[in-house]
Structure 1
Amino acid sequence: MKKILIVDDELSVCTLLTRFLSKNGYDAQSCTSGADALRQLKSESYDIMLCDYHLQDITGKELFEKIQPLYPNIIVIFITGYADVRVAVDLIKNGAYHYLSKPLYPDEILKIIDNALKDGNMPVATHAIPEAKNGYSTPGPLTTASPDGYVIGESEASRNLFEHVNLVAPTDYSVILYGETGTGKEALAHLIHQKSNRRNGPFIAIDCGSLSKELAASELFGHEKGAFTGALHTKEGAFEQAEGGTIFLDEIGNLSYEVQVYLLRALQEKSVRKVGGVKTIKVDIRIIVASNENLYENVLNKTFREDLYHRLNEFTLKVPALREREADLPQFVNTFLANAGKELNKSIAGISPAVWELLLVYKWPGNIRELKNVIRRACLLTPEGKEITQKALPLELLNSKNMSQFAPQQSRSGNEEDQSGNDPSLKNAAIQGEQKRIMEVLQQVKFNKTKAAEILNIDRKTLYNKLRSMQQSNDK
C-alpha cells in the first residue's frame, strides 16, 4: 500500500483528503505544519507528499528545499488556494511533480497521484522554460483545470465569475450565461452542473442555433410516431433525456416565438408533451441557457418573450472575453499545450518569448475557442521536441502587434509612399488604399475572413492571396 503524507494548515482539508485517499486504497496520514511534516518524514517513509504552499510556519517552497536533499525519492505535489503560474513553474523546474489549485477535485487528485506513481519523482515539466521579455514565464504542461476541462483562472474577472458559480451551483436556480462566441459558456454550464446536487444526473446540451422552427419542438420535447412526415418512430426529447440532471440551451435567442411558448409552459408546469402526443410527462430538470446577445434587448424588440425571460433570469452570469482576463492566458495556453501534445502524441518544448508577446498583444476576437485552435495548429506545425515559433502562427496573430503596418505610409511632405520606398504613382496609391480598406474590414468583423470577403465583394481565395501579398510586401 502506497503511503501519502498530507500537509495542510486547514484541518478540514487534511481530514477530507485522508478519508478520501484511504477509501481509494492508500495509506494516508496528515499533519498541519511544516515542522510536523519534517518530524513525520524522519520517523516514516512516504511515497508522495501533498503539500499546501501557504503553511502557517513555513512556505511550501522552503519545506520543499529542506526535504529534497534528505528524501530525494519522495514525490511532492503542491496544493494551494493562491495559484501563481510563475511560482508553480519554478517549483516544477526544481523537482516538484505537480501543482494544483483549490478547490480540489477528487478525480483529478487520483489521476495525478496515479500518474505520479507511474512516473516516479520525475516532474511533469523537465525542459528549460524561457522567460518572456514581459515578465511572464512560458508555461509548461502544468494545469489548473476542473475535471471537465474548464480552466479556473486567476484574473479578477475569473475570480468574480467563480465566486458566483460557487454560490449558484448548489441551488436549482435557472441561470442565464452571457458572453461572446468562444468564451466557453457550455464548459461553464457543465462546471455548474458538476458542482450541483444534480452532478450524478445527465447533462444535455442543445444548440438552439442549429434547430429549425419545424424541428425545435421535437428535439426539445420529443414526438410520437406519425406526428409528422418522417416521424417513423417515437422520439424522446432533450427534456426527458435530462431527467434528474441539467439541460443547457445554447443561443436560446434563436428559438422561434412559438417554441418559446412551449418552453415557458414546460418550465412552469415542470412537464412536457411530445409533438403529436396527448400524454403529459413530468420532468425534474434544471435549466441553464446561454446567449451572445442581450436577451432583455430582444424582449424590448419583441423577439423574445418577456415572461420566459423573467422565468429564466433567476441568476445571470457574464462570461468575460479573453481580452478581459489576460492574467489567465498562461493557464489556458498551458492546458491547450498539454491537451494538444496528448492528442498528437508529441512533446512540445514550450513557446518562444516572441510568440508569447504576440499572444498577449492579440485581442482574441474568437476568445478561448480561437486560442485553443491557434495552439493546436501551432503544435501540429512544430517539430517534435521544439518550441513554438512565429512560423506556426496564423496571419492575423502575426499582424496583431502593429495593425497599422499595412496602412498607407506618408512621407514627411505628406505624399503617400510605398512600403518599399517613395512612389507617388497612382497605381501605388490605389494599392495602399486597397490594403487599408482590407484591414479596416477585417478589424470590423474581428478577422472573420468569410464575412470580410462578403463585404469586400470578393471570394475567400482572392482575399487570402491579397493578405499573402501584403505580408510579403511587409517582410521586404
Structure 2
Amino acid sequence: MKGKILIAESNTKSFEALDHLLRRKDFQCHQIKSIRGLNKHLESEKSDLLIVNSNLGKDELLDIYKKMGGRISSIAIVDSWQTSEAVKVTKLGAFDYITRPFQPEELLSMVEEALLEGKNEKKKVRKEVVGQSPAALLIQKHIKLVAPTEMSVIIQGETGTGKEFVAQEIFHKSRRGRRPFIALDCGAIPKELAGSELFGHKKGSFTGAINDKKGSFELADGGTIFLDEIGNLSYQNQVRLLRVLQEQQIKPIGDTKYKKVNVRVLAATNDDLWQMVQEGAFREDLYHRLNEFKIELPSLSERGVDIEMFAKHFLQKANMALDKEVRGFDKESMALLNSYDWPGNLREMKNVVKRACLMTEGRVIKANALRIGTSPVDANSNSLKLKDVVARAEREAIEKALELSASNKSEAARLLGIDRKTLYNKIETYNSYFPLCSAKSL
C-alpha cells in the first residue's frame, strides 16, 4: 500500500470514482461525508493525504486548514469559479488545488507529488536545529525534557535564532503532536484586532464582523498554540490571556457565554519579559503563568562549531531551490562566515548563503560572493544633495532590517526603532523612489 488517503466528499458516486482511480495505484481510501466527520477523523486518525471537495463548506474548511497548519498534505478539488478560495487554502498549507473537470492522470501526478513532499518535509523537520556545540546540545536536552509535559514554555532569543522551530519541535515530541498546532505572530496583528484573532468574535460584535469567527485558541483546542512576540500584546489582551490560562475557557468578543478549551501555550519573545514586568509593560502574574519553563536560544555567533554546519545546510537547501550544484565554500569564505557576528542569526545566514549560491558561477562559493555586512549600492549614489544622502542612508537601513528579519515587518520596525505604520509608509515611499528589492514580499 502506497499510502492512506482521506477523501472529504459528500457525494457517494464522486467518492467511488476517486476511490476506483486511486486504488488502482495501490492507495487506501477512506470517505468522510461532512465537516463534523472530517474534524473528528483528523483528531483521532492518521492519514498521509487529504483530498477535499471544496463544496463541503467554504468557511468551515478554511477553519480546518488553519487548524491543520500544513501538518497533513492536502489537495483541494474546486470548480473553475472557486480559484480565489483555492488560493486561500494553499496559503494556509494545502499542497495544491485542482479544478473540475480534470484528467485522472493530472490528479494521480499531484497525489504522488504531495505524498513525496510530505515525506521529504518529515525528513527535513528535525535537521534545522541539529548542532554539536554545547549550546545546541543543551537546547535539544531542554526540548526533550519539557516536550512530554503540559508545562507552558517561554522561548527567548534574538531575531532569527529559530524560536518557532523550537516550538514545533516541542509540539512534535509532545503527547499533543497529532492535534492542532496554531502559530500566531502577536507583533503582526493590529492591537484592535488581536482579541478577535486570539479568542474569536460573534457576528455584529463590531464594525466589519460580518460572520462568526473562531479564534486561534478555539482552533487549537486539544493541541498547542504558539504565541510569537508575546510582549506585543496589549494590557487588555494580557488580562484575557491570563484568564484563559487560569480557567481554560474563552469568551469570543460579543458573546455572553464562555467556551471550554484545552490548549498548551508556547510563547516566544526577543524581549526580556522580566524587564518588561519591572517597567510595567507586561503583567507579572501572566509572566509567571507562562514561565513554567524557559528555553534561551543563543545567537549564532555564540554557537561556534555549528556555523560551518549551518552554512552547508543552507547551501544544500539553496541548491535545491535554485537548481544549482555549488559544492561548498573556499577557505577564505568559510573564515569570513566564522568571523562575522551574524546580527540576524540563522535567518540572515540563510539569505546570505542563498544569494551567494545564486551569484556563484563555479562549484565553490568565494568570499566576494557573500557580501556580508554590505548594502546594495543605489543607481543614484553619486548625488551629494543632503536630502538624497539622507534618503539613501534611510532606505539602506530599511533594506538591511528587512533582510535581517526575512521581511518580517514587526521585527524590521523593532530593529529600526520605529513603529510598523511608519515602516510601511517609508517602504511605500522608497519602493517608488528607490526600487526596494526587500519589499517585494508586500
Q: Normalising by structure 1, report the TM-score.
A: 0.54
Instruction: Choose 1 or 2 for highest CA Rg.
Output: 1
Q: Residue 389 of structure 1 corresponds to which residue in structure 2?
A: 366
Preserved CA contact (<8 Å) 1:175 1:317: yes
Preserved CA contact (<8 Å) 2:352 2:372: no
Structure 2, unpaired ranges of 5+: 1-114, 376-388, 405-411, 419-428, 435-442
In the superposition, relative to structure 1, how do residues 294 and 376 fare at CA in structure 2: closer, same or farther (>3 Å)?
same
Q: Residue 265 of structure 1 corresponds to which residue in structure 2?
A: 243
Q: 2:138 aligns with which of 160, 174, 178?
A: 160
Give the root-mean-square deviation of aligned CA atoms: 3.3
The alpha carbon displacement at 1:150 in A equals 2.3
The alpha carbon displacement at 1:350 in A equals 1.3
- CA–CA distance in structure 1, aligned partners of residues 157 and 417 of structure 2: 26
Q: 1:188 aligns with which of 142, 154, 166?
A: 166
Structure 1, unpaired ranges of 5+: 1-109, 116-143, 399-433, 465-476
The alignment-based identity, stated in percent, is 48
Q: Which amino acid aligns with 2:164?
A: E
The alpha carbon displacement at 1:386 in A equals 2.0
Name the SS of the counterpart of 1:379 in structure 2.
helix
Q: Residue 279 of structure 2 corresponds to which residue in structure 1?
A: 301
Q: Residue 231 of structure 1 corresponds to which residue in structure 2?
A: 209
Q: 2:320 aligns with which of 342, 352, 362?
A: 342
Q: Which amino acid aligns with 1:180?
A: E
Equivalent residues, number: 278
- CA–CA distance in structure 2, aligned partners of residues 251 and 147 of structure 1: 22
Q: Which amino acid aligns with 1:188?
A: V
Name the SS of the counterpart of 1:231 in structure 2.
coil
- CA–CA distance in structure 2, aligned partners of residues 453 and 278 of structure 1: 40
1:201-248 deviation digits (Å, cap 9, x = unpaired): 111111111122210000001111111000111111101111221100
Which range is displaced more, 285-294 or 337-346?
337-346
The alpha carbon displacement at 1:149 in A equals 4.7
- CA–CA distance in structure 2, aligned partners of residues 460 and 173 of structure 1: 45
Preserved CA contact (<8 Å) 1:179 1:185: yes
- CA–CA distance in structure 2, aligned partners of residues 373 and 294 of structure 1: 27
The alpha carbon displacement at 1:151 in A equals 2.4
Q: Which amino acid aligns with 2:285?
A: D
In the superposition, relative to structure 1, how do residues 215 and 366 fare at CA in structure 2: closer, same or farther (>3 Å)?
same
- CA–CA distance in structure 2, aligned partners of residues 239 and 326 of structure 1: 39
In the superposition, relative to structure 1, how do residues 397 and 363 fare at CA in structure 2: closer, same or farther (>3 Å)?
farther
Q: Normalising by structure 2, report the TM-score.
A: 0.58
The alpha carbon displacement at 1:452 in A equals 7.7
In the superposition, relative to structure 1, how do residues 363 and 397 fare at CA in structure 2: closer, same or farther (>3 Å)?
farther
- CA–CA distance in structure 1, aligned partners of residues 200 and 354 of structure 2: 37
Name the SS of the counterpart of 1:284 in structure 2.
coil
The alpha carbon displacement at 1:340 in A equals 1.2
Q: 5 Å matches for 1:136-285?
A: 147=125, 149-285=127-263
Where do 4+ consecutive residues of structure 1 move more than 3 Å? 445-454
Name the SS of the counterpart of 2:175 in structure 1.
coil
